Amino acid sequence: MSIQFYPENKIFKLDTNSTSYAIQINKYGYLLHLYYGAAVSDSELDYLAYTCPHGAHFPRVESETAENPFFSKDLHRMEYSCNGCGDFRGSALAIKRSGGTEDTDIQYVSHKIYAGKPKIEGQPATYADEEQATTLEILCRDNVSGAEVTLFYSVFENLGAMTRHAIIHNASNEVMEVKRALSACVDFHDASDMDFIHLYGGACKERLFERSPLIYGIQGVSSKRGYSSHMQNPFVALCSHDATEESGDAYGFNLVYTGNFVATAEMDSDSGARVLLGINPEGFTWRLEPDESFVTPEAVMVYSNEGLGGMSRIFHKLYRNNLCRGYWKTRKRPILINNWEATYFDFNEEKLYDIAKTASELGIEMLVMDDGWFGSRNNSHSGLGDWFVNEEKLKGGLGKLTERVNALGMKFGIWFEPEMVSKRSELISAHPEWVLQIPDRHKSISRHQYVLDMSRADVRDYLFECIKAVLDNANIAYIKWDFNRSLTEAGSALLGSERQQEVFHRYVLGLYELLERLLNAYPELLLEGCASGGGRFDPAWLYYAPQIWASDDSDAIERLDIQYGTSMCYPTSTVGAHVSACPNHQVGRTTPLQTRGNVALAGTFGYELDLTKLTDEEKEIVRKQCADYHKYFDVIHNGNLYRLISPWKDRTKCAWMYVSDDKREALVTYVVIRYRIFQRNYLRLAGLDPNKRYLNEQTGQILSGDTLMRAGMNIQEILKDYDSRVYHFIAVD
């Protein structure tokens, strides 16, 4: 097994094909973190726990003697840190007892190791069979409060990946309140040569890459908006100062959660560092009655000594194979045309049919009808919550339109925003209590809408029945599930005062329950996540939706930054990317149709424009792009990504490539952001087999893998602003 327990020194050693992770139970019963990094062969790693005495002002369990060596919870590397009993660094766990104090101190009780990976009931998580993963459960107990904590570690043996979560159980006879319950805590012995990486941004500029030296003190990212958010992503990484795309140490941490989160790195005065990841404790308390439990979301941890690119490729394989699931997990998804940028709210069945007819002639496979088909929805001021078809706009109803589109050989998709309700709607008039609200507090409004209380079963039942009625009366193959505002005044009219700080998390659990119910009822439904673009691009959504709209900024040049940052953690097969109208509706930039297609190919691929207005020449380009999607699908969606030139490095060019697992096929994309006179376009490739020879289908040149990776390719063209090229390589021997 990949997890072993060595009783002689009480060490757990967790191994993958490239990593090792070690924990020790010390003589006082505390779990100490010993090591995390590249695979090591030794199990006698207890020497790593030793810490030199630091003076009398540090709390100690006992006085230092030969029999009782120095031990302080404030200095040693703790495996799951607790609040109030001597560890003054950030805490993974804090429980308020019935007496009002927040003191928690857990010690080892027992453990078990088994093949496979348990399901986290009611929450999304990675999955594995008995051959793919091994799991360690460590039961700990606070003997004073009666809190029991089970720490779960699942190791994916053929990847440098492991997952963690915890269950906090009230084994006492009194009520306790969980104030902090994070999913992962990792203490590094020496982080003085590390950088901190995160993905920041905003609406229409999501997941932009930021790298800075790790500082003494605390740095981190978080969301308290009720969703993972445009502004920060539940992903952080630590890497060595010298780490590049293909060399150096890189540790990635990602939370499988779509609600409020926090991820911090705290470097202390002796250069050790603690990484914490989990539900944001701000505005959070979970009340545990006797014999009740709280389950944290899952944290994913990845290590690679092959740089940031190696780290990313592990995430990509794990998420493609062990997080995405269902009918569309590995199937080729249809090329779609979305009518939003073509029509916005101004459409009827004939306008949609004309777009679909043109699309079908060009090789596009699905029409998606966006916002504006329901209730009184002719603008953003009304209609949300009234999920019945507006037959004044769609004469004959949705069934008739879908039949006409299906007759063209195309699938039909539809837009929903189930979690929201318009201020002007029939639903809010009938059920004002269904809105998130706090008594006597003014309800904030955003985009002319309020947020429904997804913690309520009656709200979820209503939404399920509404969606079901639409799906049962028309042949709908796809839903774009949108979410367009943050949660404010997050109170529930159904919960008592003692549970109001549970609303944020209960909201997320309710959302998961509704999504699970929907997919169980319609297992072949293709779901795409959206939140004003990419505001919910997190691994939790990938468990339900195998693709997520990356950003409402669909400009190809802007998308270079957005999609590059997204690729740090998330695979190409999950990135919603479309060829949009030009000049672009967000930034006004005019970009060649060829480049818009080349950039969108680094995603799920589709169109977001009025095809009926294209010239004959442009239609031929679209036909070729659709053919290229099918030709290159396997290498793009199942291959290994290598980032060659980052768009933020010198702001003049960007390049990336995909390589098949057998290294017999590669696809290279090169984009000029800003032309410089007499600019040379040399590009070193990566990931090829140095002993194979490759044919460049676009130029006819044959070169060896080692030449392409060391000397590079020479793009002997003058490429101006926003020009791009794609090169397809096939092994010839």
Residues carrying an active site annotation: 482, 552
Q: What are phi and psi of 516, to 5 degrees?
A: -65, -45
Q: In which order are the strands placed within the sheet that holds 547-549?
A: 575-576, 547-549, 526-529, 478-481, 411-416, 366-369, 336-338, 606-608, 579-580
CB distance 370 to 415 below 8 Å = yes
Q: Can you tell me the distance from the alpha carbon of 435 to that of 427, in angstroms, rounded to the nearest whole number?
A: 10
Q: Residue 563: in which H helix or E strand, if any?
A: helix 556-566
Structure tokens at 92: 């993974």
Own/partner pairs, 402-407, CB within 8 angstroms, 24+ separation: 402/474, 402/475, 402/476, 403/475, 404/349, 404/353, 404/356, 405/352, 405/353, 405/356, 405/367, 406/475
> 619: helix, coil or strand?
helix
Please report how many Cα atoms fall inside a 13 Å half-sphere around the Cα of residue 6, on the Cβ side.
16
Structure tokens at 709: 């990776």
Q: Can you tell me the distance from the alpha carbon of 351 to that of 355, in angstroms, rounded to the nearest whole number?
A: 6
How far does CA 488 lie from the centroid of its chain? Answer: 23
Q: Can you tell me the distance from the alpha carbon of 395 to that of 401, in angstroms, rounded to the nearest whole number?
A: 8
- Single-letter residue type at 534: G
- Single-letter residue type at 141: R
Q: Residue 600: in which H helix or E strand, if any?
A: helix 593-600
CB distance 394 to 648 below 8 Å = no
Q: Can you tell me the distance from the alpha carbon of 123 to that of 414, in angstroms, rounded to the nearest whole number?
A: 26
How far does CA 706 lie from the centroid of its chain? Answer: 34
DSSP 653-685: EEEEEEE-TTSSEEEEEEEESS--TT---EE--
Contacts of residue 61, defined as CB under 8 A and 6 or more positions apart, other chains included, come to 28, 68, 71, 72, 73, 86
CB distance 294 to 288 below 8 Å = yes
Cβ neighbourhood burial of 689 (10 Å; 0-12, 13-18, 19+): middle
> 35: helix, coil or strand?
strand
DSSP 686-728: -S--TTSEEEETTT--EEEHHHHHHT-EE--S---TT-EEEEE
3-state secondary structure 219-250: EEEEECCCCCCCCEEEEEEEEECCCCCCCECE
CB distance 487 to 439 below 8 Å = no
Angle, alpha carbons 661-559-569 (nearest 5°)? 45
Residue written as tokens 């008039």? Answer: 429
State the helix-helix crossing angle for 397-407 and 349-362, rounded to 10 degrees. Answer: 20
Q: Residue 467: in which H helix or E strand, if any?
A: helix 457-472
The pairing of beta strand 526-529 with beta strand 478-481 = parallel
Cβ neighbourhood burial of 590 (10 Å; 0-12, 13-18, 19+): exposed
